[in-house]
Each structure stands twice: as C-alpha cells, then as structure tokens.
C-alpha cells in the first residue's frame, strides 16, 4: 500500500531552520522528522513511499540519494513550489493509479497511531476518506466563566479542546475528482464536499500526536522520542 507524504510547504513559523532546509528535513534527535514518520509506517510494514516536494525539494531528494533504507521504496516527486496540498496530490495522480487506496500524511507531524487499526477502520466504513482526529496539544490553562466567577479551572488540559485534523489519512483515489487545480487546499473544498456527502469518517486517536510548527514543538518531540519504546505505547 502506498504512503504519500506532503513535504512541499514553506514552514515559515520555524524559519530559524527553514531558511536553509525544508521543514521535513529538520532534525529531531539527529534524524529528519520525515524519517521518523517513515519509520513509523515501516513498523507496520508500509514501505512504499511517495514524497511530494516543493520548497527546497532538492535537499530531500539528495538526502535519499545518499541514504538508503532497507526494504524501502522511496519516490521523490517534485510538485512545484507554489502548489497547495490538494494540488500536490493531484500532480502525483499517475503514480497513485485509479484503483488502490493509499495513506496520506504531512511531513511535519508524528503520532503513535496504530496504522493497522486505522486501515481496518477505513475499510469497514467504506467511505472516500478517513481522517485521523487527534486532540490538540494543550498550550494554555482552561477556564469556564459565569460573569466574573470561575466555575471550572483545569491547567493545560487537552480534553476540552475538541478534535482536530491530525493527518494520517486513508484515501480512495476518488478524492482526486474533488481537487480542481494547483491552488486547491485538500483541507478545504475537497474534504468539506465529501464530508457534506457523508463520505468522510474520523478515526479517533487519543494517544500521542505532535506537529512541529515551532521551536517549542521541536523540543517537545525531542523529549518524547528519547523514549525508545514510545511508539509502542498507545
């Protein structure tokens, strides 16, 4: 089963690094974050990778030329610099084929999602796409107010934050019909339309998930990944 990784964005919120390298190549404990993501798929024996690059994509391409990974099939596809997430997916349509579903995720987010359970969930529900819904990392204390009286206080609880898009999709090729052009964000019109048709399901993941938007996020990831068994924990 193919694994598509979107790795073409500018990463402007962590420009301390992305002035010189693309965001997926930022190292977390001396390993590029994209390799951590690929290692997780590999643990579940998904090793057929299609990396859609854009900004400084040659750096990703050169890295995988110089570094080989046992039993991995790594395809680096340049999809243009000023192309949105849906457009990147549309540009690799020929690589994906017309009949098989595939995984899709972003090149800047790590999770300990059970990928077999995710895939089985998708197959059971038989929809165009399944999204992994995750709890956003809590950044602030949460309070509930009645006028000026605090009725509830919880320091940095993510349980009240709702659910957000955590990446780690399983998608049927039919989604490509909903992507208009290079300027299409996958997360807007395509997903909104299939959701309105009842064709988008959510796999709830309560375990670890962390994106790397800022230096603080990078520090959190480095602390978590030092635990050798971390990805075995659900």
pLDDT by 10-residue block (mean), the chain, 234 residues = 96 90 95 96 97 97 94 97 96 92 97 97 96 79 61 56 89 96 96 95 93 92 73 50
The predicted pLDDT at position 111 comes to 94
Bridge-based pairing of strands 2-7 and 31-32 is: unpaired
Residue 234, pLDDT score: 45
Q: What share of the chain is helix, strand, coil (3-state, %, to 5)?
A: 35, 25, 40
Answer yes or no: are the C-beta atoms of 63 and 25 closer than 8 Å: yes
What pLDDT, on a 0 to 100 scale, did the predictor assign at position 171? 98
Residue 140 has a pLDDT of 53
Count other C-beta atoms under 10 Å from residue 106's C-beta.
21
Q: In the prediction, which pLDDT does 70 show?
A: 87
pLDDT at 98: 87
Question: Which of 221, 174, 218 shows the shortest CA–CA distance to 200?
Answer: 174
């Amino acid at each position: 089963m193919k694994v598509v990784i979107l790795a073409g964005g500018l990463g402007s919120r962590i420009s301390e690094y992305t002035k010189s390298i693309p965001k997926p190549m930022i190292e977390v404990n001396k390993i590029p974050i994209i390799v951590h993501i690929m290692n997780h798929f590999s643990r579940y024996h998904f090793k057929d990778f299609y990396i859609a690059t854009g900004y400084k994509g040659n750096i990703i391409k050169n890295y995988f030329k110089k570094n080989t990974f046992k039993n991995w099939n790594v395809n680096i596809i340049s999809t243009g610099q000023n192309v949105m997430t849906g457009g990147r997916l549309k540009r690799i349509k020929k690589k994906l084929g017309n009949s098989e579903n595939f995984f899709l995720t972003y090149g800047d987010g790590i999770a300990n999602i059970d990928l077999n359970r995710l895939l089985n969930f998708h197959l059971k529900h038989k929809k165009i796409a399944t999204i992994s819904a995750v709890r956003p990392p809590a950044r602030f204390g949460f309070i509930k107010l009645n006028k000026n009286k605090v009725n509830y206080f919880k320091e940095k609880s993510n349980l009240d934050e709702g659910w957000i898009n955590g990446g780690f999709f399983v998608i049927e090729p039919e989604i490509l019909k909903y992507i208009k052009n290079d300027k299409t964000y996958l997360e807007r019109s395509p997903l909104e339309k299939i959701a309105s048709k009842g064709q988008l399901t959510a796999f709830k993941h309560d375990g670890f998930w962390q994106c790397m938007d800022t230096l603080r996020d990078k520090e959190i990831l480095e602390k978590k990944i030092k635990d050798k068994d971390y990805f075995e924990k659900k």
